[in-house]
Amino acid sequence: MINSVGREIPDTIAGFKSMIPFRGAFEKGGSSPDFPSKKTRLLQGNRKVLTSMREALEKVGVESGMTVSFHHHFRNGDYVLNSVMNEISKMGVRNTKIASSSIFPCHEPLVTLIQKGVVTAIDTDYMTGPVAQAVSRGLLEAPVTLRTHGGRARAIDDGDLHIDVAFIAAPTADVQGNINGVDGPSKCGSLGYAVPDASHADKVVAVTDNLVNYPLTYVSIDQTHIDYVVKLDKIGDSTGIISGTTAITRSPIALKIAEYTAKVIEASGLLQNGFSFQTGAGGTSLATASFVRQIMKERKVTGSFGLGGITGFFVEMLEEGLFKALLDVQCLDLKAVDSLKKDLNHIEIGSSMYANPRTKGNAVDMLDVVVLGATEIDAEFNVNVTTGSHGDIMGGSGGHGDAAEGSKLCIVVAPLIRSRLPTVVERPVTISTPGEIIDVFVTERGIAVNPGREDIKQRLVDAKLPVVEMEKLRDTAKRICGKPTPIRFKDRILAVQEYRDGTVIDVIREVE
């Protein structure tokens, strides 16, 4: 055969593949049937940038029965999910599955969409607010799939959770779809939870309110994953976005818990050079981090990394040299965002690297200590962070199960009683994280150690910390609060709580 530049090309070479002769640049002959590709080629002159959500939806071919995904880096300041779903609804599309890494009170409009049949399934790691309440009342026909953050990455990577279109709220995007979260009026920092979506969704749409010229220099997710860029006036409310962190608690009870927790960490023997640490953003977590920081300074300990969920507090520790690096899957405040942008040792990581158990190594498996919360815990240390004691869904695993399993020492902290509701119970309403990976439970009235960790228990006793049996805490709480009316459940299952590996650790039934 003669190709289009006049060269003789044999049809085949013995023992080699068959060959297709060159037909001209820019694939004038169309894409080869031997090299099919899911990804479409974007040629110069084709525009990725669109100015209306409707156009994007039409171009990606949204139709009924599809799965659309979102990240929750905008927390309760997100406009994108509602904006996309509103448009989808107007198009007459129905039976959509929402795969959002979390759902917040601002997503209330979803309740109406559920009622109308526009949304018929939800797949998420965490949910609170009107949507969670509506699900608890049985509004959604199909059970919700609840995962951990690492489990969601695994499910997307493995194909368990197939995403037709991923909508990625992008604080800054260039015209080719390179995006980051560190610049722009809606900046949120790390875009970690959007990474698996960008890699595996059939179509990916970046939604931005800050479009810049090519090329973007700090890139969280690059253009090779992005089909379209939609420019809107505003994609989020910055006060809601940067609302992740509170101040260090002033509650004397919470401070007591924090003080004990820091002492547990100190007594564990893990607070040495190379120490790695993850904790949350609530008042008690920050107080704990503050005490740990003090001890590290006194003992002149240089940690290796802080992980999370990064707050300005951890940034200060990085800048003080107490950590060599921060691995950031989510920024919780403005200080963290700005540090991520400027500091080379503050590293943005995707949720797979953060916590996917089925990948070639993840960050939580390298963790020394994590401090987590709990709504309920039983004498076997099984933890509930999915439902309240009254049975309604108000939360979800988030990163709980991932960090608990990966860390060397997992400490769960909580006040013994919250407004007459005991934290230590006979039977948690839901088990989100199994007791075998929870090592220590700290309350203001004592510290319980999992029988599987005699080594830790001895160290705490030697450090003269108030070690008690879990049963004693449970009985104390019961005595103080009195016996509650047992909650009764119907048969109907409203949600399925998965563990990070995709197996089902519990189901959430409808309350009578």
The CB-of-392 to another protein minimum distance in angstroms stands at 9
d(CA 53, CA 86): 10
The CB-of-253 to another protein minimum distance in angstroms stands at 6
Q: Which is nearer to another protein, 169 or 255 (CB)?
A: 255
Beta-strand pair 49-50/409-413: unpaired
Asked if 222 and 42 count as a contact pair (C-beta separation under 8 A), the reply is no
**What SS3 string covers 450-474?**
CHHHHHHHHHHHHCCCCECCHHHHH
d(CA 171, CA 166): 16
Exposed/middle/buried for residue 60 (C-beta within 10 Å: 0-12, 13-18, 19+): buried
HSE toward the beta carbon, residue 206, CA cutoff 13 A: 32
Q: Which stretch binds another protein (CB under 8 A): 116-124, 182-190, 249-257, 346-354?
A: 249-257
Asked if 329 and 351 count as a contact pair (C-beta separation under 8 A), the reply is yes
Contact mark string toward another protein, 14..33, x via CB under 8 A: --------------------
Going by C-alpha positions, the residue among 117, 149, 145, 112 that lies closest to residue 131 is 112
The CB-of-333 to another protein minimum distance in angstroms stands at 24
**What SS3 string covers 295-312?**
HHHHHCCCEEEEEEEECH
**Other beta carbons within 10 Å of 408:** 14
Q: Which is nearer to another protein, 1 or 480 (CB)?
A: 480
d(CA 400, CA 153): 14
The CB-of-396 to another protein minimum distance in angstroms stands at 21
Q: What token pair was written down for 234?
A: 């505003």
Q: Helix 80-90 and helix 53-60: axis angle, to 10°?
A: 70
Asked if 322 and 342 count as a contact pair (C-beta separation under 8 A), the reply is no
Q: Which is nearer to another protein, 60 or 394 (CB)?
A: 394
Judged by CB under 8 A, does residue 444 bind another protein?
Answer: yes
Q: Which is nearer to another protein, 46 or 485 (CB)?
A: 485
The CB-of-489 to another protein minimum distance in angstroms stands at 12
Site for another protein in 366-425 (CB under 8 A): 389-391, 417-421
d(CA 177, CA 389): 45
Asked if 360 and 340 count as a contact pair (C-beta separation under 8 A), the reply is no
Q: Which is nearer to another protein, 419 or 503 (CB)?
A: 419
Q: Which is nearer to another protein, 231 or 472 (CB)?
A: 472
Site for another protein in 251-270 (CB under 8 A): 252-253, 255-256
Site for another protein in 449-478 (CB under 8 A): 464, 466, 468, 476
The CB-of-389 to another protein minimum distance in angstroms stands at 6
The CB-of-423 to another protein minimum distance in angstroms stands at 13
The CB-of-476 to another protein minimum distance in angstroms stands at 8
Q: Tell me the number of residues near another protein by CB under 8 A.
A: 28
The CB-of-474 to another protein minimum distance in angstroms stands at 15
Residue indicated by tokens 């969704």: 201
Q: Which is nearer to another protein, 53 or 394 (CB)?
A: 394
Q: What SS3 state is found at 155? A: helix
The CB-of-372 to another protein minimum distance in angstroms stands at 21
d(CA 71, CA 100): 6
Q: Which is nearer to another protein, 45 or 482 (CB)?
A: 482
Q: Which is nearer to another protein, 347 or 421 (CB)?
A: 421
Site for another protein in 480-499 (CB under 8 A): 480-485, 487
**Residue 275 forms beta bridges with which residues?**
none
Q: Which stretch binds another protein (CB under 8 A): 192-200, 216-224, 250-258, 270-278?
A: 250-258
Contact footprint for another protein (CB under 8 A): 252-253, 255-256, 389-391, 417-421, 444-446, 464, 466, 468, 476, 479-485, 487, 511
